[in-house]
């Protein structure tokens, strides 16, 4: 006979536990202990008289029955004393009460008290902690898992819902330093800069969010532990309340570790850094431009009303056309003061395919080029080079006068490109570009990637690009924007945060305010990195997921059943009780997790998530 030992001093809880055991397997034997002292006396007895001295069943004295499970109040042993349970397990194995292959399992019970700290019981020796008052279905299910013994049970008492969806698995991250714009952590693994990850932490809490996105900007050997790596992250897309919360945490001087140091002078200063701002509204443009003018020495600012206008000007040299004029020589031309061509010889001369005679040149030239052409007509210059535009296309022509004739020719390619690039409102080297987020389609970043490639060709290099958003962004938008942009600033833009991000990302800027400083806080804190994982099935007691790495039996992980627009989604704890390699897929595993220490409010949250996920899956299926 297989046995379950119960250490419980409350009659009602004893009854519920015994009833659950009978429902699972009526053939299970039980032995009750009212307290730890009674249990320890029993241990002394079997140590003195033998393992089978305690049973009254003669058959059991000679058979190979085992103690499968020990259910006890958590308070009987206390937190952080899992070594006692380990010693009990070892004793049971030595006395042949269980085997090393199938050791006794430990299931702990506790009242759902806010002061109860589950962390003290997170140990592979513990199958689970079940809170009282018991939910009968949950109780039976977790006893069933414990009896199964770290292998997937063949039967379940709860209904499992198919849930081919993504949740988040959390992993503790050691933070050593924190600044207004990011943090420094420590890792045994090396990572490639540019990686964007999601993090949970008390410092990141705001009115709307309890997490942040951060980009890895540097990874190198740790100065105090060369075998490890120091990772520097910068935040991405913080809303104003988060910036305030982080700044408050970093700038607490009375808690130690506070360092304020001046921003280092640039090694290769840029005397006239060029910035491009794409913004149609005057107030928003002046907000960014004004900050740059007040803070950055010698800055030059170019404004465009929309992304297309910037792209057209950037692409103007590449789109410059040839063969736009059909005659190299015009014998005579009469142009009025308003640039209307009254006479033209030959009369069938065309520009951009349109008759030159009886046309107004203002449709072919910008005002500045018309002015240059007008001065030439007055005889101020013998030769002039002007840019002509028509239907979004550009061309460059040289106009000269020779023996009473007008000679019109198109410039060479190299000269034409140089002229057109010089006519642009921005330099070939742009320090940074600022654009309104509404100009970028987050679900179709291919057009933006094309523009970045164009900037790489037409400029010294593609400049770092920052987005300005009029309102806080959803997580989906943040993830999309993180793929192609340095950061997203939320209006009203925090100028201190804005300037720190700018000077860290754009080397060479000379600041007008020499008192600008960097605040750094040395601390030993933990935040949690969120990794998206695919789950296949879930219930209130357990879940099945796919993961790219194998997890050891007894490994603990925290999870977030993520839902958009919901603040304070609880973090639930799970422990791995089985892991299987996926056949035919190298490096992929099916992980079976038991949800560990589920309090009543966590069970309610799980049930709500399961219901919402079911509704959403039906909506997706219906199209």
d(CA 610, CA 612): 6
At residue 433, does pLDDT exceed 90? Answer: yes
How far is CA 225 from each of CA 179, 184, 187, 220, 228, rounded to the nearest angstrom? 22, 14, 10, 11, 6
At residue 18, does pLDDT exceed 90? Answer: yes
At residue 318, does pLDDT exceed 80? Answer: no
d(CA 58, CA 24): 25
pLDDT at 562: 76
Torsion 538-544-546-550 (CA) sign: positive
Tokens of 247: 């700044």
d(CA 107, CA 520): 45
pLDDT at 143: 94
Mean of pLDDT values over 66-88: 93
For residue range 146-198, what is the model confidence (pLDDT) as tens digits? 998 777 656 555 667 777 788 999 999 989 999 999 999 999 999 999 999 99
Q: Could you give the domains of the chain?
A: 2-148 (3.40.50.2300), 161-167+534-622 (2.40.10.220)
SS3 394: strand
Asked if 502 contacts 180 with a C-beta cutoff of 8 angstroms, the reply is: no
Residue 451 β-bridge partners: none
Are β-strands 350-351 and 341-345 bridged in parallel, bridged antiparallel, or unpaired?
unpaired
SS3 124: coil
At residue 59, does pLDDT exceed 80? Answer: no
At residue 534, does pLDDT exceed 80? Answer: yes
At residue 297, does pLDDT exceed 60? Answer: yes
Asked if 368 contacts 375 with a C-beta cutoff of 8 angstroms, the reply is: no
Tokens of 470: 């009029």
pLDDT at 17: 97
Helix axes 307-314, 446-458, angle to 10 degrees: 40
Nearest alpha carbon to residue 301 among 176, 433, 180 = 433
- Which residue is associated with the tokens 């004004």? 290
DSSP category for residue 416: H
Average pLDDT, the chain: 87
DSSP category for residue 320: B
């Amino acid at each position: 006979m297989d046995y379950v030992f119960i250490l419980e001093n409350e009659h009602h809880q004893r009854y519920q536990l015994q009833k659950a055991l009978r429902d699972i397997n009526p053939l299970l034997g039980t032995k009750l202990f009212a307290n730890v002292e009674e249990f320890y006396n029993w241990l002394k007895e079997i140590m003195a008289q033998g393992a089978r001295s305690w049973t009254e069943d003669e058959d059991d004295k000679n058979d190979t029955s085992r103690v499968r499970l020990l259910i006890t109040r958590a308070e009987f042993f206390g937190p952080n004393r899992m070594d006692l349970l380990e010693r009990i397990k070892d004793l049971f194995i030595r006395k042949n009460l269980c085997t090393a292959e199938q050791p006794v399992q430990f299931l702990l019970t506790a009242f759902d008290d806010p002061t109860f700290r589950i962390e003290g019981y997170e140990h592979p020796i513990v199958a689970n902690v079940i809170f009282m008052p018991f939910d009968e279905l949950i109780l039976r299910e977790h006893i069933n898992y414990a009896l199964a013994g770290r292998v997937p049970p063949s039967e379940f008492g709860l209904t499992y819902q198919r849930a081919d969806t993504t949740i988040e698995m959390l992993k503790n991250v050691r933070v050593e330093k924190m600044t207004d714009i990011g943090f420094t952590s420590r890792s045994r693994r090396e990572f490639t800069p540019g990686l964007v990850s999601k993090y949970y932490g008390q410092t990141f809490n705001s009115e709307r969010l309890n997490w942040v996105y951060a980009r890895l900007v540097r990874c190198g050997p740790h100065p105090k532990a060369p075998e490890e790596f120091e990772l520097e992250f910068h935040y991405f897309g913080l809303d104003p309340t988060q910036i305030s919360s982080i700044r408050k945490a970093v700038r607490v001087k009375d808690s130690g570790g506070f360092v304020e140091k001046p921003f280092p002078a640039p090694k290769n200063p840029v005397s006239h850094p060029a910035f491009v701002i794409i913004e149609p509204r005057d107030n928003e443009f002046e907000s960014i431009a004004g900050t740059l003018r007040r803070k950055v020495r010698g800055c030059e600012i170019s404004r465009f009303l929309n992304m297309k206008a910037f792209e057209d000007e950037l692409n103007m040299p590449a789109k410059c056309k040839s063969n736009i004029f059909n005659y190299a020589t015009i014998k005579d031309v009469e142009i009025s003061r308003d640039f209307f061509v009254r006479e033209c010889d030959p009369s069938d001369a065309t520009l951009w395919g349109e008759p030159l005679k009886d046309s107004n040149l203002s449709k072919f030239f910008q005002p500045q080029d018309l002015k240059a052409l007008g001065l030439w007509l007055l005889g101020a210059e013998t030769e002039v080079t002007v840019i002509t535009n028509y239907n979004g296309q550009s061309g460059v022509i040289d106009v000269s006068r020779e023996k009473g004739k007008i000679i019109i020719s198109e410039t060479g390619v190299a000269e034409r490109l140089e002229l057109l690039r010089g006519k642009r409102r921005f330099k070939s080297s742009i320090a940074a570009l600022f654009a309104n987020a509404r100009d970028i389609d987050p679900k179709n970043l291919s057009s933006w990637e094309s523009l970045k490639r164009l900037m790489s060709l037409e400029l010294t290099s593609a400049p770092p690009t920052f987005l300005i958003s009029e309102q806080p962004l959803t997580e989906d938008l943040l993830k999309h924007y993180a793929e192609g942009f340095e950061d997203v600033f939320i209006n009203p833009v925090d100028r201190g945060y804005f300037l720190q991000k700018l000077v860290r990302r754009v080397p060479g800027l000379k600041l007008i305010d020499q008192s600008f400083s960097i605040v750094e806080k040395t601390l030993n804190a933990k935040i949690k990195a969120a990794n998206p994982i695919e789950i296949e099935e879930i219930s209130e007691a357990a879940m099945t997921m796919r993961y790219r790495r194998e997890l050891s039996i007894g490994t603990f992980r925290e999870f977030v059943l993520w839902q958009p627009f919901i603040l304070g989604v609880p973090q639930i704890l799970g422990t791995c009780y089985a892991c299987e390699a996926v056949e035919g897929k190298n490096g992929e595993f099916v992980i079976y997790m038991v949800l560990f220490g589920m309090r009543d409010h966590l069970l309610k949250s799980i049930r709500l998530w399961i219901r919402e996920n079911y509704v959403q899956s039906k909506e997706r299926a219906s199209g």
